[in-house]
Amino acid sequence: SESSSNCYRVVLIGEHGVGKSSLANIFAGVHDSIDSDCEVLGEDTYERTLMVDGESATIILLDMWDNKREGEWIREHCMQVGDAYLIVYSITDRASFEKASELRIQLRRARQKEDIPIILVGNKSDLVRCREVSVAEGRACAVVFDCKFIETSAAVQHNVKELFEGIVRQVRLRRDSK
Ligand code: GDP
Ligand code: MG
């Protein structure tokens, strides 16, 4: 609908420990004393309005993928409700990179006829000496996935702002081409 056209539900998915909650916390502005724009809607849901390319966009960020307490249904729920997805792996953990491919396939299956914006996120880029997945591999994987790619570091806050701006741009590209 028109009223919700600038509000996007973005879902974080990926293996446990790759840094999803750390990225969500930066989004929420936990480390950011000046900007208190974020509303915490629940323990794992955050809302924030960003200015991207001169146009405001509200992101509702869901970080509930690892919520075991709620059971398996929550993952099915996550697969259904996103307007966009951040598939996160750790560059220090090849298994998490392989898991990202699995998740991409699951997502495609769950949302067959939709062209959903996705960014493949290689997090922990600060841990250069523990790297198990090269930038080239990440990029090549994103080409196969037909999605965008970025490496981030939640620890040193590198490319995190760019990540959230990027997902807004991806959603808009699809909206504008309709
Ligand atoms: P989640 O299970 O995907 O939500 O991952 P968390 O956000 O809980 O992070 C798991 C662990 O990795 C924590 O100890 C974080 O401090 C650490 N971590 C997360 N992001 C980074 C990063 O970019 N660099 C480094 N060095 N550690 C990170
Ligand atoms: Mg977490």
Q: What is the pLDDT along the chain (178 residues), one digit of tens a residue?
A: 344 468 999 999 999 999 999 999 999 985 454 455 666 667 799 999 999 999 999 999 999 999 877 778 899 999 999 999 999 999 999 999 999 999 999 999 999 989 999 999 999 999 999 999 999 999 999 999 999 999 999 999 999 999 999 999 999 999 888 7
Instruction: Return the best residue to mutate from 22, 65, 67 for the ligand 1 pocket (most ligand atoms within 8 A of CB).
Output: 22
Distance from C-alpha of 90 to C-alpha of 86, rounded to nearest angstrom: 13
The pair of structure tokens assigned to 57 is: 């966009």
Distance 7 CA to ligand 1 centre (A): 27
pLDDT of res. 71: 73
The ipTM value here is 0.99
Q: Is 12 in the pocket of ligand 1 (CB under 6 A)?
A: no
Query: In Å, what is the CA distance from 151 to each residue of 25, 134, 145?
Result: 17, 10, 16
Q: Which residues contact 163 (CB under 8 A, 6 or more apart)?
A: 23, 86, 119, 121, 150, 152
Q: Is 93 in the pocket of ligand 1 (CB under 6 A)?
A: no
pLDDT of res. 7: 93
